[in-house]
Chains A and B, each alone.
Chain A
Amino acid sequence: MLPTQLLDELQAQGLVPPEQVALIRQDEQTRPFSVHYEVRTLLYLGIVLLTGGLGVLLYQHINEIGHGVVVAGMTLLTAACFGYADRHRAPFTWAKVPRKGFLPDYVLLLACLLFLILESYVQYQYGIFGTRYGLAVFLPAVLFLWLAYLFDHRGVLSMAITALASWLGLTVAPLSAFTDNDFRSLSGAAIGLGVALVGIGLWSEYQDRKRHFSFTYVSLGSNLALLAATASLLDFYSTSWLSPFAAAALILVLSGFLVWYARRTHSYLFILMSTVYSYIVVTYLFFQVVKDLKGSDAVLLLVLLYFLLSGFGAIMLFVNIKRILRIAHEPESL
């Protein structure tokens, strides 16, 4: 076994006394095997399956089941979940609340998803919001935002932001933000919401108001804003209100901010995002300059030189930047 060899070595080097080595050895042998993350993942999978299945089930069989039964049953279930989560709730503070167990967190998540199904059902069947569909999405956004702060829950915060975005007709989900959004008509809203979210993240970080929420705000917000700005920069949509120059400037400023934020919070995901988007901008600007030049061979040479030099230049920058950014050997993290 590996730890045994390492312990032998530490003992031989005199770094750890023999009694302590024996203690560690015993701990290695008797320590229970933790299935913490496996259980949590399966629990979350169960919640997603149940709520996804239930949503479709009610929708398809809407006329076969008694409406009163469905509404009563769903309300009871939702209330029970909220009640359970509330019973285990710690008093509110602006700091991170220590957890005793993870079950209440997931029950709260389940309660929120059940609430969404219930709300959709009631709206579909009884039309309580009439034709004001926006309200049907705005209500959960506000509710979830309140719950997220009350229960100190980052997952519910994500749902609140998702709901807020879909109230504006946008998708903030990290992977579907690109495919599902219609930037032609919504690039202004997307950039506005993205920048606003980044601003709120900045505020929580600086004012120490739920500082651990800032990652969720900044990651979802900056991804949305950068995508929308890049889409208008690359001229996919000629009717866009944002001039390419303003979009490029916005991307570069936002990227600079992300580098600063990454350094402050040691979340290097943001350095990756800012680098990719700024490189797209710089490359785009380079091609704008080059495309008007005459002589295909010379242009080809220039383009190759650009990629060669920018590639190796960026590598040299990043290898040497670690002193500037104080990037040490840290455990892997987001």
Chain B
Amino acid sequence: MNLKAYNPLWAHHEAMRAAATHWQKRGLLSSLQLAAIVAAHPLDYYRPNIFLRIILFIFTIIGLSAASSFMALLFSGGFHSGNEEVLLVTIAALTIAGGLALLEFSIKTSRLYHSGIDNAILYYTLGWAVFLIVYFIYEVTPIGYRASSSLTSPAAAIVLLLVLLLLVAATIRYAERLVAAAAYATYLLLLASILLQFSIGRLVLPFAVMLASVAAYFFIKKLAQRPDYLYYKSCLQLLKVLSLVTFYLGGNYLVVREGNALLSDSMVSTQVPFAWLFYFFTGGIPIAYIVVGLRRHDRIWLLVGLLLIAFSVFTLRRYHSVLPAEIAATIVGAVLIAAMIWVTRYLRPSRHGLTTAADDEDDTRKFNLESLIVAQTANVPQPAEVGFEFGGGSSGGGGAESNY
């Protein structure tokens, strides 16, 4: 049986078309050549625009939920009261079997390829499968252990292990990026669950998460060398982002301190051991990411670094009041504007292999997005109140949205 649910040629043709279009825009290919390449790499799968995918996703979830409820309604007559658990398990089993059959059938016949419909069926089916796993492990757990349903119980580790296996298998077959992300989250939770069985676990947990992220990063890099990289490209890119983020979060002061308080069930978080080390990580890692991203021309490192700086600032301001917010915003804003104007002029046309010119000229869609962001973030004050509020712009988080 073929391990991959979708035709691997689809991913390959898609990548070839994208690369050829890019080269044509840069004037390296003639439009005739592009047309020939496009004709030689047909896309015969169904994947509409992102907004249509969202519509399809919503309606698939509505339809599937109604189908499950319908089954419950049909069967509920056959079961006597007190048998709700049997009913639930029956519905779960039927939904999983039906969902898988529907998924495979629709991919084969309608050539769906991450079209919103197949994503929805996959999530829905996996959701019920996870429910079944949790239910059965709970049932076979001896009564004495049931009370501790937290991460530290041995039952939790078994559940996480089974869920991880399920999600990895689903990722290998369907190459769905959110499923891959869920598998990654389960992997880290499993690690935490095992470590917390031991008394030393809580102390080494931050470092273990960082190490596990590094291991994951190199594993992902190795996977990217495989010939079927294109099939898993979106998954591997998202996993790369996540491994960079979790490496940072593992060493972030706020996460360590609040996580520590959470695990020891104390209401207020107190200073943690090695605080200076975590402050160093909080400040140093994002800057290192940005430097690496600019040097290696790796956009993922760069963007993750830029976003994490914002979180580092948040971390710092949570425990230390450096400046009043409005003064800090004014100074940081002025510095940012000046720095970006300088960077734009300095990198014109290009220096150190960097440029501020756009890679392609066709940016009308991004301007459309930008106009919506401006409408959301640059608010004009309402006139109603007497002595109405100042401000030609809320400093709300909206401005941090990137233009992609």
Decide if B355 touches A35 in the complex (CB within 8 Å): yes
Chain A nearest CB from B352 CB (Å) reads 8
* Contacting pair A49 B329 (CB below 8 A): yes
A126 sits at the interface (CB 8 A): no
B317 in contact (CB, < 8 A): no
Stretch of B140-148, B159-167, B196-204, B360-368 contacting A (4+ beta carbons < 8 Å): B360-368
- Assess whether A301 is interfacial by the CB under 8 Å rule: yes
Tell me if A268 is interfacial: C-beta within 8 Å of chain B: yes
- Interchain nearest-CB distance for B3 vs A (Å): 21
When the two chains form their complex, are residues A46 and B333 in contact, meaning their CB atoms are under 8 A apart? yes
Chain A, residues 283-303, CB within 8 Å of chain B (1/0): the string is 000000000000000001100
Q: From the candidates B28, B43, B355, B398, name the one contacting A27 in the complex (CB within 8 A).
A: B28
A65 within 8 A of B: no
| Stretch among B46-54, B257-265, B280-288 lining the A interface | B46-54
Distance between B87 CB and nearest chain A CB, rounded to angstroms = 16
A66 at the interface (CB under 8 A from B): no
Say which size band chain B's interface belongs to.
Answer: 35 or more
Q: How far is the CB of B364 from chain A (nearest CB, A)?
A: 6
CA distance A34 to B50 in the complex (A): 25
Stretch at the interface among B65-73, B91-99, B184-192, B206-214: B65-73
For the complex, give the distance between the alpha carbons of A33 and B302 in Å: 11
**B356 is contacted by which of A35, A161, A174, A220 (Cβ under 8 Å)?**
A35
> Is B223 an interface position by the 8 A CB rule?
no
Whether a CB of chain A sits under 8 angstroms from the CB of B9 is no
**Closest residue to B50 on the A side, CB-wise?**
A332
Contact B378 A162 (CB under 8 A): yes
A173, B394: Cα distance in complex, Å: 12
Q: Mark B1-41, 1 if CB is under 8 A from A, else 0.
A: 00000000000000110011101001011000100110010
**Which chain B positions have C-beta within 8 A of A52?**
326, 329, 333, 391, 393-395
Is A63 at the interface (CB under 8 A from chain B)? no
Our pick among B73, B294, B402 for the contact of A300 (Cβ within 8 Å) is: B73
Question: CB distance B303 to A311 under 8 Å?
Answer: no
Docked Cα-Cα span, A54 to B377, in Å, equals 15
> Are B364's CB and A212's CB within 8 A?
yes
Cβ-neighbour of A39 out of B21, B49, B356 (below 8 A): B356
Q: Is the C-beta of B370 less than 8 angstroms from some C-beta in chain A? A: yes
Q: How far is the CB of B103 from chain A (nearest CB, A)?
A: 14
Q: How far is the CA of A173 from the CA of B387 in the complex (A)?
A: 23
Residue B306 at the chain A interface, CB threshold 8 Å:
yes
Expressed in whole angstroms, the minimum distance between the Cβ of B76 and any Cβ of chain A is: 10
Let me know if B127 is at the binding interface, CB within 8 A: no
| B367 and A212 contacting across the interface, CB-CB below 8 Å | yes
Chain A contacts with B in 63-109, Cβ cutoff 8 A: 96, 101-103, 109
Contact of A117 among B340, B358, B373, B392 (CB under 8 A): B392
A34 in contact with B383 (CB, 8 Å) = no
- Contact partners of B52 in chain A: CB under 8 A: 268, 271-272, 318, 327
The answer to whether A117 and B383 touch across the interface, beta carbons within 8 angstroms, is no
Bound-state Cα–Cα, A56 to B389, Å: 9
Known: A33-B353, A51-B393, A53-B330. A45 touches B60 (CB 8 A): no
Q: Is B371 close to A, CB under 8 A?
A: yes
The chain B residue sitting closest to A303, CB to CB, is: B66
CA distance A42 to B380 in the complex (A): 21
What residue of chain A has the Cβ atom nearest to residue B227's Cβ?
A5
Binding-face segment, B129-137, B245-253, B268-276, B341-349: B341-349
> Contact mask A172-216 → B, CB, 8 Å, 1/0?
111110000000000000000000000000000000000010011
B400 at the interface (CB under 8 A from A): yes
Q: How far is the CB of B310 from chain A (nearest CB, A)?
A: 9
A176 touches B354 (CB 8 A): no
Asked if A312 and B380 make an inter-chain contact with CB atoms under 8 angstroms apart, the answer reads no
Which A residue's beta carbon lies closest to that of B17? A329
Interface positions, chain B 303-346, Cβ under 8 Å from A, are 303, 306, 325-337, 339-341, 343-344
The distance in angstroms between the C-alpha atoms of A307 and B63, with both chains bound, is 6
CB distance from A315 to the nearest CB of B (A): 5
Contact A166 B63 (CB under 8 A): no
**Inter-chain contact B334/A46, CB cutoff 8 Å:** yes
Find A219's partner among B21, B61, B372, B387 (CB 8 Å cutoff): B372
Which residue of A has the minimal Cβ distance to B37? A15
Interface readout for B78-96 with A: 1 if CB under 8 Å, 0 if not?
A: 0000000000000000000
Most buried by A among B67, B333, B378: B378
Determine if A268 and B356 form an interchain contact, defined as CB atoms under 8 angstroms apart. Answer: no
Which residues does chain B contribute within 8 Å of A220, judged by CB atoms? 372, 375
A300 CB, nearest partner CB in chain B, Å: 7
Name the A residues within 8 Å of B392 (CB-CB): 51, 55, 112-117, 120
On whether the beta carbons of B60 and A315 are closer than 8 Å, the reply is yes
Given contacts A48-B377, A117-B392, A166-B383, contact A311 B334 (CB under 8 A): no
State which residues 103-157 of A face B: CB under 8 Å.
103, 109-110, 112-117, 120-121, 124, 133-134, 136-137, 140-141, 154-155, 157
Among A51, A124, A136, max chain B CB count under 10 A is at A51
Q: Are B381 and A53 in contact (CB under 8 A)?
A: no
Point out the residues of chain B lying under 8 angstroms from A315, CB to CB: 56, 59-60, 63, 117
Q: Are A50 and B374 in contact (CB under 8 A)?
A: no
Write the chain A residue with the least CB distance to B340: A43
Contact between B56 and A318, CB atoms less than 8 A apart: yes
A35 touches B302 (CB 8 A): yes
Contact B29 A16 (CB under 8 A): yes
What are 7 residue pairs bridging A and B, where the CB atoms are less than 8 Å apart in the complex? A34-B357, A43-B341, A96-B364, A117-B392, A134-B383, A173-B376, A333-B365
| Contacts beyond the supplied A36-B355, A48-B395: 16 A-B pairs with Cβ under 8 Å | A15-B37, A43-B340, A46-B334, A46-B335, A48-B333, A50-B336, A51-B333, A53-B326, A54-B326, A59-B391, A117-B392, A162-B375, A276-B58, A308-B67, A311-B60, A333-B365
Interface residues of A (CB under 8 A from B): 2-3, 6, 9-10, 13, 15-16, 20, 23-24, 27, 31-60, 96, 101-103, 109-110, 112-117, 120-121, 124, 133-134, 136-137, 140-141, 154-155, 157-159, 161-163, 166-167, 169, 171-176, 212, 215-216, 219-220, 267-269, 271-272, 275-276, 300-301, 304-308, 310-312, 314-315, 318-319, 322, 327, 329-334
